[in-house]
Structure 1
Amino acid sequence: MVAWRKALQRLDGAFSDHTLRSYRSGFEAFSQWCRRRRKTALPAAPETVAEYIEEEAGRLKPATLKQRLCAIRKIHRLCEHQDPTDDENVELAMRRARRSQAARPKQALGLTANLRDELLLACSDDLIGLRDKVMVSVGFDTLCRRGELVAISVEDLTAKGQGRYSVLVRRAKNDLEGAGRISHLSTQSSRLVDQWLAAIGAQSGPLLRPVYCRKALALYLEPLTVSRVLKKLAARADVEPELVQKVSGHSLRVGAAQQLTLDGRGILQIMRVGGWRSMNVVARYVENMDIDVWN
C-alpha cells in the first residue's frame, strides 16, 4: 500500500493541499474497510466498491461517498489500474445512497451586517481580539471561503485612495488556473488591517496569524480556525445556542451574499463579487432570507 502514497506525491503542486488531503484520507478509509473484510483495495474490483458504497451509505452522507469515489478513482489512475468506479453497479449504489438520504443541503448561518457587527463588538481588546476583528471584517468584505481567507498575505493588499485597500484573492476552488479576483475592503476593514499590521510589525507574510504568548507568529492559520473563531464570537455575542451551531467558516460568505441581496444588488453583481460561476449556488444562499424584506 506504500505504492499509492508514493504515486499521490506526483500531484504535488498540481492540486491544492486540501484536495490532496481529501484523496489521501478518502482512499485510506476505503483501504481500511477492505482490510477488515479481506478484500483487495488496489486494484479494487467494481463489486468491492459497490459493496463499500452500499454498506457505508447508512453512515456517511452522499457528498462524503462521492468524495471517497473521487479518491478511489484518482489513486487507481495514478497507479495505472482500471478505474473501478466507472461501472454501472457503482453508479446504481450511489443512486440508492442519494435516494435513501434525500434531503436539502444544510446551510451555514449567514452572518449579515448586523450579526457581523455583533461579532466585532464581542472581540476582546487584546492582540487576539484585533486579529479576530480583521478576520471577521475582511472575510465579510471579500466573501472569501475560509481557505481563501487564511491564505491572504500582506503582499496581496494594495493601497487605494482614502486609506482603503483592495485585496487579491489569489486562488479559489473553482479557479484552477489561479487567475484570482480583486476584492475591495471597506474603510472600517482597512483601518483594522492597519491597526493589526502596526501591532504585529508585519510588512510581508500571512495577514492572519496565530497568536501565542501575546505574539503573532509568521504562520498561516489553518482554515478550521475560521470556524472556531466565528463560533467563539457568536457564543460570546449571546447568539442563540441553536444558531451558534449553524455558524461555520462559510457563514461570512453566505451572510455577505445575503446582505448584498438586501442592499438591492443583482445576482450577477453578487456572482462577480464572490467569484461564483454558478447562479444556482448563489440562489441557495439567499433563498432562506425572510420574505418580509421585500415588503
Structure 2
Amino acid sequence: MSDQESKSGESAGTQLAPLPSSAVEVRLREQMASAGRYREKSRADGTIRVYTSAWEAFARWCDQFHIEALPADPAAVATYLAWMADEGLAHSTISRHSAAIDWKHRTIGHPKPTARDDNNLIRDVLSGIRRDQRNRQSMAKVPVQAQHILKMLAQIDGNTTRAHRDRAILTFGIASAMRRSEIVALELSDIAFVERGMRVDIRHSKTDQEGRGEQIAIPNGEIIKPVYHLQKWIEWRGQKPGPLFTRFDQAGFLTNLPMSDRAIARLVKQYALKADLDPRSVAAHSMRAGFLTDAAEHQASIRKMQEVSRHKSVDILMTYIRSAESFDDHAGDSFL
C-alpha cells in the first residue's frame, strides 16, 4: 500500500469512526427537541387555545369534587362528559373536550384516559350522547337579525362596564358575522378604527387552520351602530393589551381573561329571552346567520356577503339568497 493510500485510508477511517456516546446523546436530544417543536406546530394556535380552555374547564370540575385531573381516571372523564350532555352541550363540543383531555395527558407524558379505558366507558358514553341528541327533537335555530338586536339592546340598562361590553358583543357579533370562537380569540390589537368604520384582523379561524389571517371591514352603521358601541366598550375596558372581550370575576370585577365561546352563547340567549324571543331557538351562530339573512334581503351580492362571512363555498350563501327571493316573481303570482 502506498503512503498516499495509507493516508487516505486513515482519513476515511477517521470520518467514519463512531462519535463518543456523550456527543451522540447531545445530538439525539437536539433532534428530539426539534421534533417536539414541530409537533407543537402540528396544531393551529386557535386549536391549542380551544383545547387549553377545555382542559381548564375539566380541571375546575375535578376540583369541585376533589378528583385528580392528571392523570384522570376514565370513569371521571366519562362522568364529566355525561354532565356536559345534561347541561345541554352539543355532542361535537363534548367530543372536543374529550379530545382536549387526551391532548393534555399526551403533552405531559401521561397515557391518554381513552387508552387506559379497558371498559370503553368514554367511548360508550360519547356514543350514547350522540344517539340521544340525534333522537331528541331539536328546535331549528332562527337568525337573529338587526331588528332583533335592537330589541335586545333595549333590554340593556345602565352606563356600566358590563352593559357596554354586552352592547358591543351583540352589535359586533352581527356586524362581523364571525363565529363565536373567532370573537373570543380577538385581541385589542386586532381592531383598527378608520373614518368609515373599523377593520378587524382575524388571525385564526375554522377555515384558516394554517393561520394566514384574514381581514374584514365593518361600517359605522346608522341603526345598530356597531363601531360606536365597540368604542364605548374599549373606553371602559381600557387600552391594556389582551383579549378584546374580557370576562368578569365572581366578585363582578373586570379581568384581563378572555370570555369563553359558551359565555357568548349564554349572553345571546339571555337577551333573547328578555326581548321576548324563544332562547331555545337562538344560538350565538344566530347572529352570523342574521347578518347573512339581512344582507340577502337587502339584495347584497354574493361577493360582498362572502367578504364578510368568509365562506369558502357559495352554496351556503345561496340558501340565504334563495330564501330572501322566494316570493320574488313567484310562479303563482298570476293565478293564486
Q: Which TM-score tier does this pair reach, normalised by the shorter chain?
A: 0.5 to 0.7
Partner of 2:256, secondary structure, is: coil
Residues 23 and 185 (structure 1), Cα distance of their counterparts in 2 relative to 1, 3 Å cut = closer
Report matched runs for 1:85-164 at 5 Å.
108-125=141-158, 126-162=160-196, 164=197
d(CA) in 2 for partners of 1:232, 1:238: 10
Question: AA paired with 2:239?
Answer: A
Q: Does the CA-based 8 Å contact 1:134-1:192 persist in structure 2?
A: yes
Of the two, which has the highest radius of gyration? Answer: 2
**Separation of aligned partners in 1, 2:135 and 2:128:** 12
Gap runs ≥5 in structure 2: 1-35, 55-94, 103-111, 331-336
- When the two structures are aligned, how many residues end up with a matched partner? 234
Distance 1:165-1:272 versus aligned 2 partners, 3 A rule: closer
**What is the CA–CA distance in structure 2 between the aligned matches of 1:121 and 1:13, rounded to whole Å?**
45
Q: Does 1:230 align with 2:268?
A: yes
Residue 144 of structure 1 deviates from its aligned partner by: 0.5
Map residues 164-183 of structure 1 onto 2, 5 A cutoff.
164-183=197-216
Corresponding residue number in structure 1 for 2:257: 219
* CA deviations over 1:233-256 (Å, ceiling 9, x no partner): 0011122x3xx2021121111110
1:60 to 106, 122, 130: 130
Is 1:31 the counterpart of 2:68 in the alignment?
no
Among 198, 205, 220, the alignment partner of 2:235 is 198
Distance 1:277 1:201, change over 3 A: same
Distance 1:61 1:267, change over 3 A: farther
Matches of 2:154 and 2:204 in 1, distance apart? Answer: 30
Deviations 1:165-197 (A, max 9, x none): 211122111112222222223322221122111
* Residue pairs, 1:276-295, within 5 angstroms: 276-284=311-319, 291-292=326-327
**Aligned partner of residue 167 in structure 1, secondary structure:** strand
Tell me how far apart the structure 2 counterparts of residues 217 and 294 of structure 1 sit (CA, whole Å).
54
Shift of 1:152: 1.4
SS of equivalent residue, structure 2 residue 258: coil
Which SS does the other structure have where 1:278 is aligned?
A: coil
The equivalent of 2:5 in structure 1 is none
Partners of 2:39 and 2:97 in 1: CA distance = 13
TM-score using structure 2 length: 0.59
Paired with 1:190 and 1:181, the residues of 2 have a C-alpha distance of 19
Residues 58 and 195 of structure 1: is their aligned pair in 2 closer, same or farther, counting only changes over 3 Å?
Answer: closer
Structure 2 counterpart of 1:210: 247
Could you say what secondary structure the match of 2:114 adopts? Answer: helix
Q: For structure 1, which segment, 11-20 or 204-213, has the greater mean C-alpha deviation from structure 2 after superposition?
A: 11-20
CA contact (8 A) 2:201 2:214 kept: yes
- Distance in 2 (CA, whole Å) between partners of 1:19 and 1:37 is 22
Instruction: Provide closer, same or farther for how the CA distance between residues 118 and 222 of structure 1 changes in structure 2, counting only shifts above 3 A.
Output: same
Q: For the Cα contact (< 8 Å) 1:113–1:255, is it kept in 2?
A: yes
Per-residue CA deviations over 1:135-162 (Å, capped at 9, x if unaligned) read 0111111111001111111111112115
Is 1:14 the equivalent of 2:31? no
Judged with a 3 Å threshold, the aligned counterparts in structure 2 of structure 1 residues 57 and 287 are, in CA distance, closer, same or farther, namely farther
TM-score (norm 1): 0.66
1:134 positional shift: 0.6
